[in-house]
Structure 1
Amino acid sequence: MHLRWWIAGLLFLSVVINYIDRQCLSVLAPIITKELNLSPTGYATILNAFQAAYTFMYVGSGLLVDRWGTKISLTVFMSWWSIANALHAFATNAFGLGASRFLLGLGEPGNFMAGFRVISECYAKQERALVNGLLNAGSSVGAMIAPFLITWLYAQLSWRGAFVVCGALGLLWIIPWWLIYRPLLPIAQAPEEKPAGWTAYLRLPQSFGLLSARFLSDPVWWFYLFWLPKYLVEGRGFSMQDMALVAWMPYLSSDLGAMFGGWMSGHLIGRGWDTLRARRAVMLPAALVMPISIVVAFVQSSAIAIACICIVTFAHMVWKTNLSTVTNDLYPVQVIGSVSGVFAFGNGLGGLLFTALTGWLVQYSGYFWVFALMGILHPLAFLLFRGFVREPLRLASTEGSH
C-alpha cells in the first residue's frame, strides 16, 4: 500500500479518537446531569464551554498548523485534548465539568485543520474529496463506536473511568503518526508561485460563501453529536441500554454519506467535469433532502424517527464532505490551514449559537422546533454557496494564483 493511504488511515483513526473523546459527555449525559443536578440549560452551558473554545481555536489552530507544520502541530493537538478528556474524571460540579470541556475544545479543532493541510500536501484533486470523506467518516465511526464503548466502560469502571480510558487512546496514536508522516508534495500538485498572504483570500466573495454555508449547515451535526443520546432517553423514553443499541445507526449512515459524497464528486471529476461544478452537483440533492428532519418532530413511531434521522445524517455528510473539499480545491497549500480555520470558525460559531438555542427550546418547548429549524438550514446554505462560490479565486495582486 502506498504511503499516502497509510497516512489517510492514520488521519481517519485520529478523527475516530477525536469523536470518541467528544462523545464521552453526550453518551454519559443522562447519568452525569442527574448526579451533578444539571438542568437542560445548565447542560447546554457546559456544552457551550466546549463550543466557545472550539470556535476560538479553529482560527488559532489553523495558524499554528501553517506555522509549525502538520506533523508537529497534530502531535501537540492530540496530546492536549487526550489529557483534557481524562481530566473530566475529576469533575465534582458543573464548573469543573465545564472547565474540562473548555480545555477539550481548545485541542480538538486542530485535528481537522491539520487534516485539511495533509489533504493538500499529499493528494491530487480527484482524490481529495474521497480522503475528506474518509475524515468525515472517522467522525461518524467515532460517534458510532462511542455509545457501545463508553456504555461498556461505564458499566465496568464508572463514568469517571470511562473518561480516563478514552483519553489514553490518543496518546497511543501519536507513536505511529510520528514514525510515518511526511508531506508528499509531488502528488499534492502544489502551486509553483508563492501565494499572497492568507488574509488577502478572506476578502474574496468565495470566502464569504464558504464561511456562511458552514455557519448555517454545520450546527445540524452538532445537534446529533451532542443531543441525540439525551433526546432518545428523554424525548423517546429509551433506557441507556436501548439507546446504545440504536444511537450508532445515524452515525453509520453519516459514515456512508461521507464516503459516497467524496466518491461521487471525484467520479464526476474523473469523467471530465469541472471541479466546482462536480462538488455543487453532489451538494444540491443532499441539501434538498434535509427538510425530512421536520418529520422527526411530530412522528410517533421511534423506528420511523430514527430512519428519518439516518437519512438526514447521510445527506448532511454528503454535503459536508464536498463543502469542506472546496477549500482544498480553491486555496493554495501554504495557506490552507489558516483559511480553513476561518471557515471552520463559521462552523463553530453556528454550533455555539444553535447549542444555546437548543437548550432553551428543549427546556421550554421540547424538541419540536429544534427538528423543524434544522430542516431549513441546508437549503439556505446552498443558496449562499451557489451565489458566492461561482468561479476560481482571483486576487488583484495574484491573478490566477491557484
Structure 2
Amino acid sequence: MSADQVTGARMAGPTPEIGRYRWTICALLFAATAINYIDRQMIGVLKPVLQKDLGWSEGQYADVVFWFQAAYAIGFLAAGRLVDAVGARIGYAVAFTLWTLAHVAHGLVGSVTQFAAARFALGLGESGNFPSGLKAVTDWFPQRERALAVGLFNAGANVGAIATPLIVPAITLAYGWRMAFIATGALSIVWLIAWISLYRRPEEQPRLSTAELALIRSDPVTPAGRLPWLRLFAVRETWAYAIPKFLTDPIWWMFLFWLPDFLGKRYGLDLKSFGPPLVVIYLLSDGGSVLGGWLSSRLIQRGWSANAARKATMLGCAIAVLPIVTVQHVDQLWLAVLLIGLATAAHQAFSANLLTLPSDLFPRAGVASVVGIGGTAGAIGGMLIAKFVGYVLDVSGSYTPIFAVAASAYLLALAALHLISPRLAPATLPRSETVA
C-alpha cells in the first residue's frame, strides 16, 4: 500500500486526539546526539592525559583535531546523499555503527598517528548524525514545530558535553584512558537497538494516530521533478545555509576541543576539578538550545513569518556572544564561566534556528543533502580554526585572538544569511526537476 493510501485509510475513520509519538522520535534523536558529543568531546577532556602519555605538542593536538574535521567534511557530503537515498532509519544506523566502532578503536591505539587515524574514522561516522536527525525531524514534524524539535534534539549535544567531564575522568582515574573509550562505546549499543525497533516513517508507523499523522503532514506540499545533486550547489538557498555554517560551526568546535585546556591554563583546573565549570557551561548551552528553538517556533505560532522569527532570534543570539571577547582578561573563574556559558548558549540557540533552514527552504527529498553540504562547509571551517588555534597557542599562548574571532562570527553569519536570502523564500527549483 502506498503512503497516500495509508494516509487515506487512516483519515477515513473517526478523528482521535493528537498523539505525541513524534516526541518519542525527538527523544531518540536527543539521545543519539548526546552519545555523539560524548564520543567527540572525550579528546578535549583527556587532552592533558593524552599529551602526557603520547607526547603531543599543541600543533600535533591541532593536527589530530584537523583530521577529524577533514573526515567530517568528507563524510557530511556522502552522509547527506546516503540519508536522502535510504532514509533516516537505515542512514542513522549505518552512521552510528561506524562512529561507535571508531570510538572504541581509540582505546586500542599506541601512537599519535594511530590516534589520528581512529579520529578520522570517527569523523566519517559522526558526520551522519545531523543529516539523519534533521531528515527525521523533517519527516516527523510540521514546520511550526521543527525549530523546537531541532532545539530539543540539539540539546543532546550539551547533555553529552555535561556527561563527559563527569563520567570520563572517573573511568580514567580508575581504569585508564583506554578503558574510558571502550566502556563508553560499548554502552552506546543500547541506542542502536532502540532506534531500529522504534523508528519508521510516519505513514509506516502503526503506533501513530490518524490525527498526529495529519498534523505532521499539514504543511502544503511543493511539487517538483528531478534535480541532480550537483545542481544544489547552484541554488542560492544552499549557500544561505552553508556560509553561516562555515562561519559559526568552528566556534563550537573550538569550545568543544579547547575549553578544558583554557580553563586549565587560565585558572589552574585539572582532570579532577574542571568538571563543575564545564557542567555549568553546558547546562546553560542546553537552555539556549531549547529556548532558541522555542522562541522562533512561538513567534511563528503568533503570526510572525518564518523569516522574521528565525532572524530576530538569531540576531539576539549574535549579540549575546559578543562579551566572550573579554573572557581572557577575567580573573574570577565563575564570572568567566558565565560569560562562556552565555556564548555557548547563544551558539546553540543560533544553531537550532540555522539547522531548521534546510527544511524551511527545500523539499523533504533534498533536506539531508543540503544539510550535508552545509555540514561540510562547517567542518572545513573547523579544520581552519584547528590550525589557527594551534598556531596562536604555540606562538603566543593567549586565547585573546581566538575569542575575538568567536565574538564576531555570528553577526557575520547572520549578515551573510540575510544578504543571500532576504525573505527566506523556499528554493525556486525548475518545474521539471527535484532533488535526486
TM-score (structure 2 length as normaliser):
0.89
Give the residue type in structure 2 aligned to 1:112. F
Which residue is 2:175 aligned to? Answer: 157
User: Residues of 1 paired with 2:275 and 2:406: CA distance?
Assistant: 24
Give the residue type in structure 2 aligned to 1:380. L
1:124 aligns with 2:156: no
- CA deviation profile, 1:229-264 (whole Å, cap 9, x unmatched): 121112321122111121122111111001000000
SS of residue in 2 equivalent to 1:393: coil
How many Å apart are 1:190 and its aligned residue?
7.1
Task: State how 1:296-335 maps to structure 2 within 5 Å.
Answer: 296-335=327-366
Give the residue type in structure 1 aligned to 2:26. A
1:191 aligns with 2:259: no
User: Residues of 1 paired with 2:267 and 2:394: CA distance?
Assistant: 15
User: Residues of 2 paired with 1:129 and 1:399: CA distance?
Assistant: 30
- Would the aligned equivalents of 2:225 and 2:433 in 1 still touch at CA under 8 Å? no
Which residue is 1:89 aligned to? Answer: 107
Which residue is 1:267 aligned to? Answer: 298
How many Å apart are 1:32 and its aligned residue?
0.7
- Would the aligned equivalents of 2:224 and 2:431 in 1 still touch at CA under 8 Å? no
User: Residues of 2 paired with 1:301 and 1:28: CA distance?
Assistant: 24
**Total equivalences in the alignment:** 402
Which residue is 2:3 aligned to? Answer: none
Give the residue type in structure 1 aligned to 2:327. V
Change (3 A) 1:85 1:400: closer
User: Residues of 1 paired with 2:402 and 2:348: CA distance?
Assistant: 19
How many Å apart are 1:377 and its aligned residue?
0.9
Which residue is 1:226 aligned to? Answer: 257
User: Residues of 1 paired with 2:433 and 2:321: CA distance?
Assistant: 35
- Would the aligned equivalents of 2:289 and 2:352 in 1 still touch at CA under 8 Å? yes
SS of residue in 2 equivalent to 1:247: helix
Give the residue type in structure 2 aligned to 1:121. D
- CA deviation profile, 1:39-74 (whole Å, cap 9, x unmatched): 001101011111110111111100010112111111
Which residue is 2:386 aligned to? Answer: 355
- Would the aligned equivalents of 1:393 and 1:400 in 2 still touch at CA under 8 Å? no
Pick the aligned partner of 1:378 from 410, 413, 419.
410
Pick the aligned partner of 1:254 from 273, 278, 285.
285
Runs of 5+ consecutive residues of structure 2 not aligned to the other structure: 1-18, 204-212
- Would the aligned equivalents of 1:62 and 1:110 in 2 still touch at CA under 8 Å? yes
SS of residue in 1 equivalent to 2:89: helix
User: Residues of 2 paired with 1:301 and 1:399: CA distance?
Assistant: 61
Change (3 A) 1:263 1:37: same
Task: State how 1:46-195 maps to structure 2 within 5 Å.
Answer: 46-184=64-202, 186=213, 187-188=216-217, 189=219, 191=221, 193-195=223-225
User: Residues of 2 paired with 1:399 and 1:270: CA distance?
Assistant: 33
Change (3 A) 1:287 1:87: same
Which deviates the most, 283-292 or 262-271? Answer: 283-292
- CA deviation profile, 1:155-175 (whole Å, cap 9, x unmatched): 222100000011113222111
- CA deviation profile, 1:332-358 (whole Å, cap 9, x unmatched): 111111111001111111111011100
- Would the aligned equivalents of 2:285 and 2:341 in 1 still touch at CA under 8 Å? yes
How many Å apart are 1:95 and its aligned residue?
0.6
TM-score (structure 1 length as normaliser):
0.96
- Would the aligned equivalents of 1:82 and 1:169 in 2 still touch at CA under 8 Å? no
Give the residue type in structure 2 aligned to 1:191. V
Which residue is 1:276 aligned to? Answer: 307
User: Residues of 2 paired with 1:195 and 1:167: CA distance?
Assistant: 42
Which deviates the most, 244-253 or 76-85? Answer: 244-253
- Would the aligned equivalents of 1:79 and 1:170 in 2 still touch at CA under 8 Å? no
How many Å apart are 1:12 and its aligned residue?
0.4
How many Å apart are 1:399 and its aligned residue?
9.6
- CA deviation profile, 1:357-400 (whole Å, cap 9, x unmatched): 00111111121211122111111111111111223134362399
Change (3 A) 1:237 1:117: same
% identical equivalent positions: 34
Change (3 A) 1:385 1:192: closer
How many Å apart are 1:142 and its aligned residue?
0.4
Query: C-alpha root-mean-square deviation of aligned residues, in Å?
Result: 1.8
Pick the aligned partner of 1:30 from 43, 48, 51.
48
- Would the aligned equivalents of 1:45 and 1:356 in 2 still touch at CA under 8 Å? yes
1:343 aligns with 2:361: no
Give the residue type in structure 2 aligned to 1:85. H
1:368 aligns with 2:400: yes
- Would the aligned equivalents of 2:361 and 2:427 in 1 still touch at CA under 8 Å? no
- CA deviation profile, 1:87-120 (whole Å, cap 9, x unmatched): 0011111111111101100100101110010011
Pick the aligned partner of 1:393 from 411, 426, 429.
426
User: Residues of 2 paired with 1:72 and 1:359: CA distance?
Assistant: 37
- Would the aligned equivalents of 1:287 and 1:379 in 2 still touch at CA under 8 Å? yes
Give the residue type in structure 2 aligned to 1:387. L
- Would the aligned equivalents of 1:17 and 1:170 in 2 still touch at CA under 8 Å? yes
SS of residue in 2 equivalent to 1:378: helix
- Would the aligned equivalents of 2:75 and 2:127 in 1 still touch at CA under 8 Å? yes
SS of residue in 2 equivalent to 1:240: coil
Structure ID, larger Rg: 2
User: Residues of 1 paired with 2:394 and 2:143: CA distance?
Assistant: 46
Runs of 5+ consecutive residues of structure 1 not aligned to the other structure: none
Change (3 A) 1:168 1:70: same
